[in-house]
Structure 1
Amino acid sequence: MPSFWKPRLGAVYLGDRTCRFRVWASKHERVDLHITAPADRVVPMRPMGAGYFEVTLDDIGPGARYLYRLDGAVERPDPASRFQPTTVHEPSAVVDPSFPWTDAHWHGVPLDKYVIYELHVGTFTPEGTFDAAVAHLDELVDLGVTAVELMPVAQFAGARGWGYDGVYPFAPQNSYGGPAGLRRLVDACHARGLAVVLDVVYNHFGPEGGYLHEFAHYFTDRYKTPWGDAVNVDGPKSDEVRRYLIENALYWVHEFHIDALRLDAIHAIYDATATPFLMELVNVAGRYATDLNRQVHLIAESDLNDPRVLRPPELGGLGLHAQWADDLHHCVFTILAGEECPYYRDYNEFDLLVNAYQHGYAYTGQFSATRERRHGNQPVNLPGRQFVVCIQNHDQIGNRKLGERFGALVGFEAQKLAAGAVLLAPYTPMLFMGEEYGETAPFLYFVDFSDADLVEAVRRGRKEEFQMSGSDDPPDPQAEATFRRSVLNRDLRHSGNHKTLWEFYREVLRLRRESPALRFPDKERMRLTAFPEYRTLAVERWDGDAETLVVMNLSDRDADIRLTLREGTWQRVFDSAAEEWRGPGSVTPGAVVAHSEVRLTVAPTSVVVYSLRVEPLTHR
């Protein structure tokens, strides 16, 4: 273990039936440890200063259950609980972190090799567990995935939920299989060459079982978020809050061998300090990764279109390694699905798609009608690998009233086109589970709260959110049937258009992986030519002598375009309109000889790829 970090908080099992308990409880004068099992006893904890209390006990083994008694009155689970065996309200459990890892030689995956597959553990399989997910990892490898991203697994109330209402950030969800199950899943991923990305939430905590505010100064009322008071990372006593969050990040990397953390909604982490929390997290995680000789990436979710998120600290940035960049999704989706709701109103212009493809952001300082102000900035000198792009993710599907996936809103040809647009872009691609074969099950919003008032508030909130989109109520988020409707039906991928789409995704990912001009997410070695009248975009990418042309026709008519290409023979390697992909038939030539201007006709709603064949020099 690196010398600069070791686990400090919670029940740290030291081996030989010895366990150290430490809790930050700055709002209290006295804290007692209540061991509830296997034998009931209460032990006073020693004040350590700065609001910390600690005690080390012998004869405490893995599985022992405990609570903290605050000022001799209320008892609560551990804010740094490693496992909640029953509910979010009942005792925490001591966990032995030892595990027979088989990934001793694992060093991670470079970010420019990431092809991310986002999944929700509870709906990825009928069983909804970490162990059940292992059985499908080989399918993902065959597809061309290199990184599995897990939606949040920190313990939340009940047995089903998205995970963003977690209240014990150190405790893997009990209904998924707890700490042991997560370790088995990560080890199995690494054995197949798959990196693991974990979604973590540091901007808020869930409404049920969230007892942090009773212990210490974790929150501040100086800022407000959609979830209530903000997490306190810049006010009085915020140093200890930062330590709690940073320890959590290192805990996932150290004890579970996680390769990357996706940081939820960083724009809701309010921080006016000279050294922002996120910059501190980047610095500490970077030092730790160096000690481990592993690649550890921090990926932000941010809709600010602010390149400072990605720029290194020495250039005035936070230094995060990558960010979700949703603008490409918004542009492609708006054009192909024809959405006119306010959420997408800002993205219905073709030139914004061109901008998103060129820069990673569609808005780089232009006026946004919805925001009623200018939005974004130019991400100058930022490599393409730092922008994670997709055609669908849990937010874009699940925040719809009926949870419709992209394939339910567009035709088969549009699904193929959108896949090509994203997977062949000079950015880091991400798929959402089931997308690769056109899953028909929705991904709905669901919860499993025990508080009747909270359940009713959630139902009312969902109704109000969609009151302008028809008279029908959204599916009941509390109903188990809503959750069950969201479970994947993976058998679909073995027949019909579903099978073809899966093979299409695999072929496009193979092309991305094996083509010298496409394999690196580099937006600097790229030239765009736009044909707004056809809603068609031609993208030339190159690496040395290797050059590839990708043409995307997002209109419903043939695009008759003229391009000036590098001299040589351009061989068609891929056409989504071809009959082999159950398309209407290709209208592009199998090869094009370029001397100056080249004329191409591209079928409606299709993507075609050409590769330049460099002729060898002949010696006379």
Structure 2
Amino acid sequence: MAILREIGAHYSPEKKGTVFTVWAPFAKKVDVLLHKPEPIEVPLQREAMGYWTALSEFANPGTRYTILLDGETERPDPASFYQPTTVHEASAVVDHTSYAWTDKKWKNLPLHQYIIYELHVGTFTPEGTFESIIERLPELKELGITAIELMPVAQFPGSRNWGYDGVLPFAVQNSYGGPEGLKKLVNACHEQGLAVVLDVVYNHMGPEGNYLHDFGPYFTDKYKTPWGSALNFDDNHSDAVRNYFIQNALMWLRDCHIDALRLDAVHAIYDMGAKHFLQELQEHVQELEEQVGRDFILIAESDLNDVRLINPMERGGYGLDAQWSDDFHHVIHAMVTGEQDGYYKGFGKPEQLAKVMTQAFVYDGLYSEHRHRTFGSSTENNRAEQFVVCSQNHDQVGNRMLGERLSDLVDFETLKVVAGLVILSPYLPMLFMGEEYGEQNPFLYFVSHGDEELIEAVRKGRREEFKAFAWQGEAPDPQSEKTFNRSKLSRSYTSNARQNQLRAYYKQLIQLRKSAPALSKPNKATVHARMEAHDRVLHLVHQTKEPHLYCLFNLSDTQQDAQLLRTQETAGSWRVLLQSGATAWGGPGETQPDTLEQKAHLTLPPKSVLILQQQLSR
């Protein structure tokens, strides 16, 4: 495992100053300019492998500074912890040791207990700040959420962005509240018993304010990503680039007390070296766990269905804890909407739903019509808790032309069926902010770039992206502040009875997931799924622990007759726990008696969920 090198501006009370470290292997001279009333120039000393460093007693927390390369090029610090103004101007020294944490007794939740709520800081509240989220944490805890996932908060240009255009990975977005605001939020989450997942981007940099080229070979021409040149993880001088991103991950976990990192689009992290960057990252995270006595979680987003990401290192894997399953989303979305365009091509077949419920992937070595190739690998040896699933997320909603949520695409009863499929699956469920009550405001793509040519290029790029889909209309202008404001949550469930009923239904499902022994830690090998393709009825039986749980999902728009599967595990009588059509959840009414025998014939209402619990003999 490579030895790490500290980078950035690190204030030390013991040293009575700040140690600056910059990687600039081709520079002949590197200085730090302190932006005092009387500017101070601090010359850095060259050390091995292209690093430059020096201690300045004149730099304290809050001191603004820039890096001067060869006496000509003045830039923010690539490892800046805070940008008080913009991505183009001076960085500020941050003392990461001074925050008064009160979460010393906090221990990260076991992975199988994660019920994730993905949110965008800028649109989750009217204020769009970290501190304003704190006021909403009791609502999320009452809903049953156990972890919030923040979309990227690394500094991006302007004040409106999804976060994937970040260009200073160590700096916490100033318009959200900077590093101090983030720490307050994390501390408050831990006080509420909530874990915090942070989305980080290690596969590309945004287009505006990306000055890494000025410092060294952070990028390589060996590979291309959808967003431009690939980051240099395996070419000449790549050790320092790997160090840069590993240090970034450790900063979030160590200094900001983040519990888990969601690693964005790891399929675009290109590394053909003997030890993949992701494996090295996991090794350093494990070392940090030993140092601080806390557990951390790494979750990968990948569209390759490759279990090498989560396989243990001794089996040739990278040892990450979990990964997203796009297949799970695509199957359900295609089934309930009928969409077959773009990457939905080949999805939506009834038998795929049963398969994805027990194997996480549909394409596990099969030919994909969309990709025109065979892809994916078997999940047979992977635990259910290693897969994160959802019916909506920022990508699947926000990358639609009009940003429609599922509540705009399907009817009310179908929303309840979909919620059941996600929350009652054996995997880690994730909700997208507002989903739990059927938020009507869209979640659109928005930016606030300062370069007119770039703005026009973004508009054009969005139009090109939608050509693979048969969507009608015109994409809202991503640069417009109106687009951003339209994407803010309305929280209308407080005044909308139907939405409040949907939220109560979500709450009940989550409570059931937490309380039912069969769902406490599902084992894929003891989960049975069978799809009656002709009537679109899914039988999902959780047999990991007694009493077993039997879930029936009618995805058709007509009433269906069904009978419980006849196996040794399903013999006996069953108690009805939940009917999605109950009037309490805004449905037409309950149709089942309180108990059912295994041989009973059932009549399932259209678009409905029925949950039964085994009655054990005494």
Deviations 1:394-430 (A, max 9, x none): 0000000000001110000011110011000000000
Q: Is the 8 A contact 1:165 1:207 kept in 2?
A: yes
Are residues 1:388 and 2:388 paired? yes
Alignment-derived partner of residue 577 in structure 2: 573
Q: Distance in 2 between matches of 1:601 and 1:532?
A: 17
Deviations 1:426-446 (A, max 9, x none): 000000001111111100000
Per-residue deviation, 1:518: 1.3
Q: Is the 8 A contact 1:107 1:293 kept in 2?
A: no
Alignment-derived partner of residue 303 in structure 1: 303
Q: Is the 8 A contact 1:576 1:606 kept in 2?
A: yes
Q: Distance in 1 between matches of 2:179 and 2:289?
A: 22
* DSSP-derived class of the 1:517 partner: helix
Counterpart AA for 1:606: S
Per-residue deviation, 1:7: 7.4
Q: Distance in 1 between matches of 2:38 and 2:596?
A: 80
Alignment-derived partner of residue 427 in structure 2: 427
Q: Is the 8 A contact 2:517 2:546 kept in 1?
A: no
Per-residue deviation, 1:342: 2.4
Alignment-derived partner of residue 79 in structure 2: 80
Which of residues 595, 602, 605 in structure 1 aligns to 2:604? 602
Per-residue deviation, 1:37: 2.7
* DSSP-derived class of the 2:613 partner: strand
Q: Is the 8 A contact 1:355 1:363 kept in 2?
A: no
Per-residue deviation, 1:5: 8.7
Q: Distance in 1 between matches of 2:402 and 2:474?
A: 10
Q: What pairs with 1:90-169 in structure 2 (closer than 5 Å)?
A: 90-97=89-96, 98-169=98-169
* DSSP-derived class of the 1:311 partner: coil
- Residue 136 and residue 469 in structure 1: after superposition, are their counterparts in 2 closer, same or farther (change >3 A)? same
Q: Is the 8 A contact 2:522 2:542 kept in 1?
A: no
Are residues 1:232 and 2:228 paired? no
Alignment-derived partner of residue 497 in structure 1: 498
* DSSP-derived class of the 1:347 partner: coil
TM score, norm. by length of structure 2 = 0.97
Are residues 1:349 and 2:353 paired? no
Alignment-derived partner of residue 10 in structure 2: 12
Q: Is the 8 A contact 1:428 1:521 kept in 2?
A: no
Alignment-derived partner of residue 32 in structure 1: 31
* DSSP-derived class of the 2:503 partner: helix
In the alignment of these two chains, the number of paired residues is 611
Q: Distance in 2 between matches of 1:521 and 1:452?
A: 52
Per-residue deviation, 1:520: 1.5
- Residue 493 and residue 328 in structure 1: after superposition, are their counterparts in 2 closer, same or farther (change >3 A)? farther
Counterpart AA for 1:610: L
Per-residue deviation, 1:521: 3.3
Alignment-derived partner of residue 480 in structure 2: 479
Alignment-derived partner of residue 465 in structure 1: 465
Q: Distance in 2 between matches of 1:218 and 1:483?
A: 32
Deviations 1:222-262 (A, max 9, x none): 00111111010011111111111101000001100000000
Alignment-derived partner of residue 516 in structure 1: 517
Deviations 1:14-57 (A, max 9, x none): 12641000000112111111111343121211001211111101
Alignment-derived partner of residue 528 in structure 1: 529
Q: Is the 8 A contact 2:502 2:586 kept in 1?
A: no
Q: Is the 8 A contact 2:186 2:258 kept in 1?
A: yes
Give the root-mean-square deviation of aligned CA atoms: 1.4
- The percent identity for this pair of structures is 49
Q: Distance in 1 between matches of 2:453 and 2:545?
A: 63
* DSSP-derived class of the 2:35 partner: strand
Q: Distance in 1 between matches of 2:218 and 2:551?
A: 50
* DSSP-derived class of the 2:47 partner: strand
Are residues 1:172 and 2:134 paired? no
Deviations 1:258-312 (A, max 9, x none): 0000000000001111111100111110121122221200000001111111100
- Residue 604 and residue 459 in structure 1: after superposition, are their counterparts in 2 closer, same or farther (change >3 A)? same
Q: Is the 8 A contact 2:355 2:529 kept in 1?
A: no
Deviations 1:176-203 (A, max 9, x none): 0000000000000000110000000000
* DSSP-derived class of the 2:68 partner: strand
Alignment-derived partner of residue 587 in structure 2: 583
Structure 1 unaligned segments of length 5 or more: list them: none
Deviations 1:86-131 (A, max 9, x none): 0000000001111010001112111000000000000000000000
Q: What pairs with 1:323-402 in structure 2 (closer than 5 Å)?
A: 323-402=323-402
Q: Distance in 1 between matches of 2:69 and 2:519?
A: 58
Q: Is the 8 A contact 2:578 2:612 kept in 1?
A: yes
TM score, norm. by length of structure 1 = 0.96
Q: Distance in 1 between matches of 2:126 and 2:234?
A: 43
Alignment-derived partner of residue 40 in structure 2: 41
Per-residue deviation, 1:588: 3.1
Q: Distance in 2 between matches of 1:328 and 1:263?
A: 19
* DSSP-derived class of the 2:346 partner: helix
Per-residue deviation, 1:469: 4.1
Per-residue deviation, 1:6: 8.4
Deviations 1:504-541 (A, max 9, x none): 00000000000001121321221122211111110111
Deviations 1:340-390 (A, max 9, x none): 322212212111111111101111122111111112121112111000000
Q: Distance in 2 between matches of 1:38 and 1:93?
A: 15
Counterpart AA for 1:396: Q
Q: Is the 8 A contact 1:413 1:583 kept in 2?
A: yes
Q: Distance in 2 between matches of 1:83 and 1:431?
A: 30
Q: Distance in 2 between matches of 1:430 and 1:488?
A: 18
Q: Distance in 2 between matches of 1:470 and 1:64?
A: 50
Q: Distance in 2 between matches of 1:609 and 1:77?
A: 57
Q: Is the 8 A contact 2:389 2:428 kept in 1?
A: yes
Q: Is the 8 A contact 2:5 2:243 kept in 1?
A: no
Structure 2 unaligned segments of length 5 or more: list them: none
Alignment-derived partner of residue 265 in structure 1: 265
* DSSP-derived class of the 1:534 partner: coil
Q: Distance in 2 between matches of 1:257 and 1:39?
A: 36
Q: Is the 8 A contact 2:159 2:175 kept in 1?
A: yes
* DSSP-derived class of the 2:188 partner: helix
Per-residue deviation, 1:471: 6.6
Q: Distance in 2 between matches of 1:472 and 1:555?
A: 29
* DSSP-derived class of the 2:525 partner: coil
Counterpart AA for 1:528: A
Q: Is the 8 A contact 1:45 1:55 kept in 2?
A: yes
Q: Is the 8 A contact 2:527 2:544 kept in 1?
A: no
- Residue 23 and residue 359 in structure 1: after superposition, are their counterparts in 2 closer, same or farther (change >3 A)? same
Q: Distance in 2 between matches of 1:134 and 1:605?
A: 36
- Residue 292 and residue 317 in structure 1: after superposition, are their counterparts in 2 closer, same or farther (change >3 A)? same
* DSSP-derived class of the 2:524 partner: coil
Q: Distance in 2 between matches of 1:517 and 1:445?
A: 40
Per-residue deviation, 1:470: 5.7
When structure 1 is superposed on structure 2, of 28-37 and 175-184 the one drifting more is: 28-37
* DSSP-derived class of the 2:534 partner: helix
Q: Is the 8 A contact 2:325 2:388 kept in 1?
A: yes
* DSSP-derived class of the 1:183 partner: helix
Counterpart AA for 1:185: L
Per-residue deviation, 1:586: 3.0
Q: Is the 8 A contact 1:586 1:603 kept in 2?
A: no
Q: Distance in 1 between matches of 2:331 and 2:591?
A: 26
* DSSP-derived class of the 2:221 partner: strand
* DSSP-derived class of the 1:550 partner: strand
Q: Is the 8 A contact 2:299 2:320 kept in 1?
A: yes
When structure 1 is superposed on structure 2, of 185-194 and 304-313 the one drifting more is: 304-313
